[in-house]
Amino acid sequence: MTAQSAPESACSLLPLLEEKTVKPPRYISTFRPSVKREVAKNKTQWKTMGPAKVAVPSPKNFLQKRSKEPKLPARKKEQDSKKLPALSVPQRTDHPVMGIQSKKNFINTNAVAAITGLPKKPQPIYVDRRQGDKYLLETSGLVPKYIKKKDYGVTPKYITQKKEEMKRAQKEYEAGILEHLKKRAMKRLSDEERTSLLQGLKKNWEEVYHEFQGLPVEIDTISKKTHKGKLESQMKQLEHDIEVLEKHKVIYIANE
């Protein structure tokens, strides 16, 4: 016997008893009786299984000959006594008059009308090429009919109305611009304000120039280069503003 195998026992020779599993009771709804009653109540005769219960015909009502043919109503005696209506077809001896009779001599009247009447004027035509097809000139659009109309050359009403609306809108737009310009009218600087503004710009230039003089001699980093360029641009702008103020004695500014 190896060390891995299990030791033998006499209990293993006995037959094992099968344990029966006990199932839980089946679920039954509390509404089962009411459902059964409703189904039995609503059941109809033609929904059931099996042949339908039909009344058996009586043996006295057997099928007879010609019993299913349609029967005409009985003829009344009054219809036999009535006479047949007279035929509308004329007889050979009759000479019916067709239409309205007239004593006018149409041959003579037609001849007189042809002799005394004016000749028919030919319709004006045009040809698309020398040996081409002929077309009526009136319907071609070549006849100047439109210029003979009463309203030819008269401006239509909708165009005049549109022009008036455009003029009105232009006037309203110009009035709005004038009002806007009046609100933002230019204001003239006085001499005192001009001198104070010029002194303030010169003072700012001196401060920026003093800061520019304080820069190191060797500028080797990017931050130093950007700072130097910023100071130079500020100085240029201030010099330009000072030059403008010194050059022009009368200065206007816009109201915000």
What average pLDDT does this structure show over 184-196? Answer: 80
CA–CA dist 69, 67 (Å, integer): 6
pLDDT confidence tier of residue 184, bands split at 50, 70 and 90: confident
Token digits of residue 181: 């310009």
79 phi/psi in degrees, rounded to 5? -65, -30
Instruction: Report how far apart the first and last C-alpha atoms of the chain are (Å, whole number).
Output: 111
Token digits of residue 70: 């349609």
Q: What's residue 163's pLDDT?
A: 94
Q: What's residue 18's pLDDT?
A: 80
Which range of 2-6, 120-124, 143-147 scores highest in mean pLDDT? It is 120-124
178 phi/psi in degrees, rounded to 5? -60, -40
- The per-residue pLDDT for range 130-159, each reduced to its tens digit, is 888 888 888 888 888 888 888 888 888 999
CA–CA dist 214, 217 (Å, integer): 9
Q: What's residue 81's pLDDT?
A: 58
CB-CB contact of 215 with 224 (8 Å): yes
DSSP 8-state assignment for residue 5: S
* % residues pLDDT > 70 (the chain): 84
Q: What's residue 6's pLDDT?
A: 55
- Whether residue 167 is predicted with pLDDT greater than 90 in this model: the reply is yes
- Whether residue 217 is predicted with pLDDT greater than 90 in this model: the reply is no
Range of lowest pLDDT (23-32, 49-58, 67-76, 235-244): 49-58
CA–CA dist 207, 231 (Å, integer): 10
pTM across the whole model: 0.31
> Which of 209-239 are b and which e, b meaning 16 or more Cβ less than 10 Å from the residue's Cβ?
eeeeeeeeeeeeeeeeeeeeeebeebbeebe
Average pLDDT of the residues of the chain: 82
CB-CB contact of 211 with 251 (8 Å): no
Q: Which residues pair with 126 in a beta bridge?
A: 135
> Which of 78-99 are b and which e, b meaning 16 or more Cβ less than 10 Å from the residue's Cβ?
eeeeeeeeeeeeeeeeeeeeee
Q: What's residue 50's pLDDT?
A: 64
Token digits of residue 17: 């008893």
Length of the chain: 256
Alpha helices in 137-221 (DSSP H): 157-183, 191-213
CA–CA dist 241, 200 (Å, integer): 11
- Whether residue 79 is predicted with pLDDT greater than 80 in this model: the reply is no
Token digits of residue 167: 């003029």
Q: What's residue 31's pLDDT?
A: 93
What average pLDDT does this structure show over 74-78? Answer: 72
Q: What's residue 5's pLDDT?
A: 52
Q: What's residue 1's pLDDT?
A: 45
41 phi/psi in degrees, rounded to 5? -75, -40
